Amino acid sequence: MKANKALLLSVVLSACVTTLPPAHVITHPERADARLAVSWIGHATTLIQIDDRFVMTDPMLVDTVAAGLSHRMVGVPISPKDVPPLDAVLISHVHFDHLSLDSLASIEHKVRRAYMPEGGLVYLSNLPFDAVDMRKWEGSSDRGMEITAVPVAHVGPRYLVDTWVHAFTGWVVRYHGITVYFSGDTAYAPADFRATKARIGHIDLALLAIAPIHPRSIMRKVHMDPEEALDAFVDLGADHMIPIHFDTMTDSTDAPHEARDTLARLVRERHLESRVTILAIGEQSVVIAK
């Protein structure tokens, strides 16, 4: 009960957050020197470049979501006008901080196709780009880029009452032999991660959510903490990991930078410094150079 009250207070206070400007700003996201590059836009939003293709995950390109109830702590580091044409937008689930309709509207003419979890299209509204919804293990191919919905453990409703909605998924993108895994939000689900490894094979990069951590009694069922995210990284057998979903929104009782600092400590303890890259919002990493 105490944990519930603390979480509720945290969520309520999130409406009062002042959004600070990002320390890094992205104006030219395309990297000529990269086969695989990732820019972290904040929260679960990443811009992935695989050779000549661009993919964005859970675009949140506005400072507030949930009808103004939830604010970013750090502003958006890229202007919609600087977002390159997107071959795919991957939506992991329909919670307000992952399916931001204003954000999608701001890049609507740059999106070739959006990929939604099964049952998610009803939450998209009639945006002009093409969109499909996919069930677990379903795959779709577009001009050589393969996108597969993979299982994760989360919850679906957007409006609390819509308990019949189970629209959540992880995604795998493969193009030119490079494979990227995007967890969206998920609890630690080793069976799902190992099944993904068995079906998908080699994964070059895993984008894994590492927060919110607390209150753990609640979050454990739906979110990984940094230690579990590293375990998931091992379960997936990925070469590299970039953590996401931390230090952007007030959605927990975590201390400032707790997830980031905990992950950094664990990475040192497990000697994973060469394989795990912790980005700041607006930073970019070349994972595989040309």
Partner 1 sequence: MALRHRVLSVVSAAIVALAPAVARGTVDEPYDKHPPPTLLWLLLQVIPSPEIGFGGASAAAGLEWQLTPLLYSFGIYRKLSPWRTFVVEPLTRQSGSIELFVSPAYLAARTSDWLVRTGIHATFPLRERGEKLALTIGAGVCLGTESSAEVEGGVSVFAGTFGLFLTYAPRISLAPATLMLRIRWF
Both tokens of 3, joined, read 């944990």
Shortest separation between residue 10's beta carbon and partner 1, angstroms: 19
| 10 belongs to the binding site for partner 1 (CB under 8 A) | no
Of 108, 79, 96, nearest to 44 (Cα)?
Answer: 96
Both tokens of 75, joined, read 């502003």
| 218 belongs to the binding site for partner 1 (CB under 8 A) | no
- Sorted by sequence, the CB contacts under 8 Å of residue 218 that are 6+ apart come out as 3, 4, 7
| 163 belongs to the binding site for partner 1 (CB under 8 A) | yes
Task: Please select the residue that binds partner 1; options are 1, 32, 67, 198, rule is CB under 8 A.
Answer: 67
Q: Which stretch binds partner 1 (CB under 8 A): 71-79, 131-139, 225-233, 279-287?
A: 131-139
Nearer to partner 1 by Cβ, of 103 and 277: the residue is: 103
Nearer to partner 1 by Cβ, of 70 and 284: the residue is: 70
Which positions from 86 to 125 touch partner 1 by CB under 8 A, shown as an x/- string?
---------------xx--x------------xx-xxxxx
Task: Please select the residue that binds partner 1; options are 44, 134, 172, 278, rule is CB under 8 A.
Answer: 134
Q: Which stretch binds partner 1 (CB under 8 A): 39-47, 132-140, 221-229, 279-287?
A: 132-140
CB 70, CB 64: distance < 8 Å: yes
d(CA 221, CA 217): 8
| 159 belongs to the binding site for partner 1 (CB under 8 A) | yes
Shortest separation between residue 172's beta carbon and partner 1, angstroms: 15
Shortest separation between residue 216's beta carbon and partner 1, angstroms: 27
Task: Please select the residue that binds partner 1; options are 16, 28, 52, 164, rule is CB under 8 A.
Answer: 164
Nearer to partner 1 by Cβ, of 117 and 282: the residue is: 117
Nearer to partner 1 by Cβ, of 32 and 161: the residue is: 161
- Sorted by sequence, the CB contacts under 8 Å of residue 248 that are 6+ apart come out as 42, 43, 72, 73, 74, 281
Shortest separation between residue 242's beta carbon and partner 1, angstroms: 28
> In terms of DSSP bridges, do strands 145-150 and 64-65 run parallel, antiparallel, or are they unpaired?
unpaired
Shortest separation between residue 276's beta carbon and partner 1, angstroms: 33
| 131 belongs to the binding site for partner 1 (CB under 8 A) | yes
- Contact residues for partner 1 (CB under 8 A)? 67-69, 101-102, 105, 118-119, 121-127, 131-135, 138, 140, 158-159, 161-164
